[in-house]
Amino acid sequence: MENETFGVIFDLYQRRIQCVWRAIKEDDVLSYAQNAARGAAANGLSGAVVTKSASKISSDKLLDNILKSLESNKAEEIVQIELRGKSEMADWMVIASGRSSRQVAAIAEHLVEKLKQDHGILSKIEGKDTGDWVLIDAGDIIVHVFRPEVREFYQLEKMWLNPGEASASN
């Protein structure tokens, strides 16, 4: 009886893993298609279809929308760091805190959904399950949402800001 129960649970677990991998592959295909459409349009190739989801928004305008979303979801200690000239990975980095793991995950989930709905940006998200530190890659902007203790431990601001420089929203 115990072996049968274990077998059923193991089968369900395997099916869940397969579903997750299928979703990851579909997401990668969508991201690849979106990036290919952007690249083709930027290079003036004829026949390239640029949909709303592939339209390009300036990083400064996207930053404003991200900051508004974070503020409306009660994120705390929001800091924006300009990365232009410091790194090629993005134009901006935003660091914010939530009061609990649940709030951190909710802030991140809401932001990813808002970027998808308003701008057609399919963001990559890491760390949402634990809710200690969630990283959102929105292309030109990298967003970090931390629990306060984790943020204090890693101190990303010190790594990226020049001494005396601070750009907090609230």
**Which residue in 6, 26, 31 sits closest to 124, CA to CA?**
31
Residue 52 CA to residue 151 CA, distance in Å, equals 35
Q: 69 lies in a domain?
A: yes
Lowest mean pLDDT among 87-91, 100-104, 144-148: 87-91
* Domain assignment of residue 170, yes or no: no
Residues 67 and 78 sit within 8 Å (Cβ to Cβ):
yes
pLDDT tens digits for range 34-88: 555 555 545 544 332 333 444 577 888 899 999 999 999 999 999 999 888 888 8
Give yes or no: residues 70 and 9 share one domain: no
The domain tally of the chain equals 2
Q: Are residues 25 and 101 in the same domain?
A: no
The predicted structure's pLDDT at residue 113: 92
136 with 61, same domain: the answer is yes
Q: Which CATH number does the domain housing residue 64 bear?
A: 3.30.460.10
* pTM of the predicted model as reported, rounded to 2 decimal places: 0.65
How crowded is residue 61: how many other Cβ atoms within 10 Å of its Cβ? 10
**Residues 74, 155 share a domain:** yes
The answer to whether residue 168 is domain-embedded is no
Residue 124 belongs to what domain range? 57-160
Which of 12-16, 29-33, 104-108, 136-140 is modeled with the greatest confidence?
Answer: 104-108
Same domain, 84 and 118: yes
Same domain? 129 vs 109: yes
The bridge status of strand 92-97 relative to strand 141-146 is parallel
